[in-house]
Amino acid sequence: NDNLPLLDCVADVQVVFSLDYKGNGAADWFTPVFVFRDPTTEVVTTTPLTAEQIRNQVKEVRVYVLAHEGQMDKSYTHPVTNICVGEPVGSLCSHGRFLNISTNVNYRWKVYTLVVKPSNLK
């Protein structure tokens, strides 16, 4: 078998949706998977969207993948121990979370971001 993985050692994956919960055609809010904002009350809930709500509200899907490049390198120390798997905003990690890599600092870590704008949901 000659199969090769696309990525070695994926440490974390975060999936985030951009929703048009106001119904104005614009992406209003990013939400982690399975956490949604009710469009009528604007209250955050863990109730999943219905299929119709998904078709009407999802404007963008972002996938953040934390993986290391190459093998362990004892002569290298990653500059930070808490890596934002999401959108870094100053010292915060918006639309994702921090992952502590303090036991694996001898790898070159990288966050890959995939952005998909669905165009045929309706």
The pLDDT score that the predictor gives to residue 57 is 83
* Distant-in-sequence, close-in-space partners of 54: CB < 8 Å, separation ≥ 6: 121
Helix ranges, the chain (H): 51-57
User: What is the CB neighbour count within 10 angstroms for residue 32?
Assistant: 14
Statement: residue 94 has pLDDT above 70:
yes
Mean pLDDT score across all residues of the chain: 83
> Which segments within the chain are labelled E, that is strand?
10-19, 29-32, 36-37, 44-45, 58-69, 82-89, 92-100, 108-116
How does pLDDT run across 23-81, given as a tens digit for each residue?
787 776 665 554 555 556 555 555 677 888 888 888 888 899 999 998 999 999 999 99
Give the percent of the chain with pLDDT over 90.
36
